[in-house]
Amino acid sequence: MHQAADGPLARVRTPGGVLTPSQLRELATCADRLGSGVIELTSRANVQVRGLRDPAAFAERIAAAGLLPSVTHERVRNIAAAPTVAVALIAELDRALCARPELAGLPGRFLFALGGTGLTADVTAADGRLLVAGHEMIGLPGTPAAMLAAAAAFLRLRTDEWRVAELADGPARIASALGGELGPRRPLSPPERPAGLVEALVPLGRLTVEQATALADLAEQAQAPEVRLSPRRSVLVADRPGIGALLDAAGLITDPDSAWAGVTACAGRPGCAGALADVQADAARWVPRRHTDLPVHWAGCERQCGLPSGRVVRMVATADGYEERHQ
């Protein structure tokens, strides 16, 4: 829970972006009855609900839905996963993480990744390899046990650093602590496109109660065990005839060339006290007039929270309106 300008905010971690239809439906119900009526998707494929009227009741219902399995480790259950990664492997890592008491001391920004997510994680397992802050660990396997060993090594080595990249010679020191060797820095794997799933973009990462309920219905109708969220602030559901039209009808975006693609925004007003504008509304009005193929991020102040990596056009709110900035 966090206190935001528009009231209590809850971040619910969904390791690997995996939600059962019933969990997604419960999130929608809680957002509707206890919050602002919107489920926000984060860049780590977690979710947020703002404007909570009864935070305790929200937490109780989320725990009953199986989305809060460990109170002690809740802040460190940061696991991103490519949609091609088996749910069983994600669950194995999550259970093993929660079973190690000392790892509850990891910083809340520490990130694990499985497969090609496009994110720069602190510890990644992909293609049988273990990477720490993007550097391959030679002689160490890409397994959940090795990932947690690397996290524990970081915990022993850190002072006040939040991420491995902030630790002086972090990857080399962790490799040495684990008996491996520091390998080269590997380029980030692009996000993997799974077979058998259809991806739909959620405009500005804001999922309405009606859209969340529709996604749960679609998954249940397809007898699919889960809906998956991605760091691209998109949702993935089981493919079947006519699914694209159903997703479009729900207000989700299945066209990869849509003007909404690559447009992100911070919370802005009224959710953030530091914001100078309602960037969500302003970005939505701007999208039909979009004039660039580059990703565009709308920010309510100079902090530019949520800024994606890479080349991005930045629309930054100032006291005199927005400044369009190019990197």
Q: What is the pLDDT of residues 83-126, one digit of tens each?
A: 999 999 999 999 999 999 999 999 999 999 999 888 889 999 99
Short-list 45, 54, 47, CA closest to 27: 47
Residue 24 lies in a domain: yes
Residue 184 lies in a domain: no
| 112 within 8 A of 79, measured Cβ to Cβ | yes
| 72 within 8 A of 8, measured Cβ to Cβ | no
Confidence label for 306 from pLDDT (cuts 50, 70 and 90) = confident
Do 286 and 249 fall into the same domain?
Answer: no
Token code pair at residue 174: 């962790």
Do 246 and 271 fall into the same domain?
Answer: no
Do 267 and 250 fall into the same domain?
Answer: no
234: domain CATH number?
Answer: 3.90.480.10
pLDDT digit string, tens, across residues 219-236: 999 999 999 999 889 999
E strand residue ranges, 18-93:
18-19, 38-41, 47-49, 79-81
pLDDT score at 253: 96
Of 254, 281, 297, the residue that ends a domain is 254
Short-list 45, 27, 28, 37, CA closest to 7: 37
More confident residue, 43 or 35: 35
Full residue range of the structural domain in which residue 285 is found: 263-326
Do 302 and 244 fall into the same domain?
Answer: no
Residue 3 lies in a domain: yes
Domain count, the chain: 2
**Long-range CB contacts (within 8 A, 24+) of 25-30:** 25/212, 25/213, 25/216, 26/61, 26/62, 26/65, 27/62, 27/65, 27/67, 27/212, 28/209, 28/212, 28/213, 28/216, 29/61, 29/209, 30/58, 30/61, 30/62
Residue 235 lies in a domain: yes
pLDDT at 189 over 70: no
Average pLDDT of the chain, as a whole number: 94
Residue 102 lies in a domain: no
Do 279 and 250 fall into the same domain?
Answer: no
CA distance 22 to 16: 17
Token code pair at residue 158: 């850190």
Do 267 and 284 fall into the same domain?
Answer: yes
Residue 268 lies in a domain: yes
Of 202, 227, 254, the residue that ends a domain is 254
CA angle in degrees (0–180, nearest 5) for 237-241-245: 75
Do 245 and 193 fall into the same domain?
Answer: yes
Contacts (Cβ under 8 Å, ≥6 apart) of 158: 107, 167
Residue 87 lies in a domain: no
pLDDT score at 188: 67
Averaged pLDDT for residues 68-85: 94
Confidence label for 192 from pLDDT (cuts 50, 70 and 90) = low
Cross-strand partners of 129: 126, 141
Residue 30 lies in a domain: yes
Of 254, 277, 297, the residue that ends a domain is 254
272: domain CATH number?
Answer: 3.30.413.10
